[in-house]
Amino acid sequence: MKTKILLFSLFVSFQSLFSQEIQGSWAGSLSIQGTQLPLIFNIQKNGDLYQTTLDSPMQGAKGIPIAETTFANNELQIAAPNLNLKFSGNFKGETIEGTFVQNGGSFPLVLSRKSNKTPALKRPQEPKPPFDYPMEEVVFVNSKDKNTLAGTLTLPKNKKDFPVVILITGSGAQNRDSEIFGHKPFAVIANDFAQKGIGVLRIDDRGVGGSSKGTPEDTSASFATDIATAVDFLSARGFKNIGLIGHSEGGLIAPMVAVQNKNVQFVISLAGPGIPIDQMMLLQTQSIAKSQGATTTQIDATSAFNKKVYDYIINYKGTNLQADFQPYLKEEFKKLTQDQGLTETQIDEFVAQQIRSVTSPWYVYFLKFNPDLYWSKIKIPVLALNGSLDMQVKATENLAGIQASLAKAGNKKATIKELPGLNHLFQEAKIGSTAEYSTIEQTIAPLVLDTMSIWILGLK
């Protein structure tokens, strides 16, 4: 049972890195008529279901079970009907900002990760001040969606007419450093590039840091307008040699913006998709499942199941996907787990947790996306990199897809490279599994930094 349910959950695994970071203890205080009431939510994962307990130290309560916990699209939902209690909040890395509701009363509540006094992670590449190059905090507004974007612009010292790149994060709301598992890869890139003569603009995603909150309807296309706005911002500042560097989903957004904004002079894709996303996700599921010890029979069964799920969503023509898809998903999941002895309640709970993610506007848009639509129109210089151990965006298939699309465009300025021994985060890895990301001290391989900077500075 555990293996099959685990494999099913992988069909939303493009955002699953962030679900790993929601686990743990989160503490905050309610302000009730001038009195502070501390609360602690303890969130764990059992198989693919979240389980939460509540502590209220001032009331002498500890380990109160919470009936419902869901986490999707960086939104945490907690409900305890027996206590008439609900909490809804947005996950922002080290905080969860939301609203606590009980017995008709509504209170703002900000939860912070509760320290377990674990040793500090070693991240030797993380840049530390003082910095010997100019840095500027910038704010600008996306004129299309009217949202505010905040970021950091780093510039090389005593240089003129230098290239400037905009860094684009992968899936899930991330800050300007693309921070995850204690790593700050975008800060590392900005620091490295500034010393080599390349400017960098990195911005907080919607709803993170200094950037204003997005909407539930946001998709990759929405995020592309943010990056296009950043390009226009740099152009208005007088920069002429502007490039884009996108990681993962950011490598999908970069060509979208480059096709639509003629101020973009070059593109770098870091593990960006190069084949239809449903195909990419099937390969991802198979690769990760194999690394977790699944058998060929289990992988084949789950791949067939996932393909049905993808096909349903991609081909849906109705008006209420969530309502129509729920019974189909439940029936197919029951078939997949028919010999596992799951109760109807267990099946309903699992399906309910998954349904919100796979029917969200972001996920539907993403799943239907074919990168060829944009890569096949790119004529400016392109550098596409993938690590050979990448389990999330498989190198061979996706690089081949990008190369074939660029050939359609007649692009003679493309460099395609598979870098040996690197994972999805471009760390030097042993097997490439997602479990390695936090254990590796290196944030990004120097080979990647050098490959990008040499290529950029070599452009004519």
What is the spatial distance between Cα 407 and Cα 403, in angstroms, rounded to a whole number?
6
**362 and 385, same domain (yes or no):** no
**327 and 256, same domain (yes or no):** no
Q: At what angle do helices 344-358 and 2-9 cross, to 10 degrees?
A: 20
**257 and 296, same domain (yes or no):** no
What is the spatial distance between Cα 326 and Cα 312, in angstroms, rounded to a whole number?
11
Closest-CA residue to 432 (of 386, 391, 385): 391
Closest-CA residue to 227 (of 216, 238, 215, 247): 247
Residue spans of alpha helices (H) in 337-440:
344-358, 361-367, 372-375, 395-408
What is the spatial distance between Cα 307 and Cα 313, in angstroms, rounded to a whole number?
10
Q: Is 3 a domain residue?
A: no
Contacts 24+ apart (CB under 8 A), 372-375: 372/275, 372/276, 372/401, 372/404, 372/405, 372/408, 374/255, 374/256, 374/258, 374/259, 375/255, 375/274, 375/401, 375/402, 375/405, 375/406, 375/409
What is the spatial distance between Cα 185 and Cα 245, in angstroms, rounded to a whole number?
12
**206 and 75, same domain (yes or no):** no
**146 and 246, same domain (yes or no):** yes
At residue 107, the pLDDT reads: 85
Q: Which helix (DSSP H) or strand (DSSP E) does residue 452 occupy? A: helix 446-457
**267 and 413, same domain (yes or no):** yes
| CATH number of the domain bearing residue 53 | 2.40.128.20
Q: Is 2 a domain residue?
A: no
What is the spatial distance between Cα 202 and Cα 178, in angstroms, rounded to a whole number?
9
Number of domains composing the chain: 3
**206 and 237, same domain (yes or no):** yes
At residue 20, the pLDDT reads: 53
* Count of residues making up the chain: 460
Task: Give residue 92's domain range.
Answer: 14-113
Q: Among 342, 367, 392, which residue terminates a domain?
A: 367
**51 and 100, same domain (yes or no):** yes
Residue spans of alpha helices (H) in 237-371:
250-260, 277-291, 296-315, 321-336, 344-358, 361-367
Closest-CA residue to 325 (of 340, 339, 315, 336): 315
**52 and 91, same domain (yes or no):** yes
Backbone angles phi, psi at 409, to 5 degrees: -75, -10
Q: Among 367, 400, 423, which residue terminates a domain?
A: 367
Q: Are 241 and 164 in contact (CB under 8 A)?
A: yes
Q: Is 342 a domain residue?
A: yes
**404 and 359, same domain (yes or no):** no
**252 and 165, same domain (yes or no):** yes
Q: Are 202 and 169 in contact (CB under 8 A)?
A: no
Q: What secondary structure letter does DSSP report for 141?
A: E
Token representation of residue 222 = 């929405």
pTM: 0.80
Q: Is 6 a domain residue?
A: no
Q: Is 150 a domain residue?
A: yes
Q: Is 125 a domain residue?
A: no
Q: Is 284 a domain residue?
A: yes
Q: Is 159 a domain residue?
A: yes
Burial 376-396 (b: 16+ CB within 10 A, else e): bbbebbbbbbbbebbbbbbbe
At residue 33, the pLDDT reads: 59
Q: For residue 89, what are the β-bridge partners? A: 76, 98
| CATH number of the domain bearing residue 249 | 3.40.50.1820
At residue 58, the pLDDT reads: 66
**156 and 258, same domain (yes or no):** yes
Q: Among 297, 332, 367, which residue terminates a domain?
A: 367
pLDDT tens over the chain, length 460 residues: 333 334 444 444 444 454 557 888 999 988 865 667 889 999 987 766 788 999 887 666 778 888 888 887 778 889 887 777 889 988 887 789 989 988 667 889 999 987 655 456 799 999 999 999 999 999 999 999 999 999 999 999 988 889 999 999 998 888 999 988 789 999 999 999 999 999 999 999 998 889 998 898 999 999 999 999 999 999 999 999 999 999 999 999 999 999 999 999 999 999 999 999 999 999 998 998 888 777 888 889 889 999 999 999 999 999 999 999 999 999 988 888 887 777 888 788 778 877 877 899 999 999 999 999 999 999 999 999 999 999 999 999 999 999 999 999 999 999 999 999 999 999 999 999 887 888 899 999 999 999 999 999 999 7
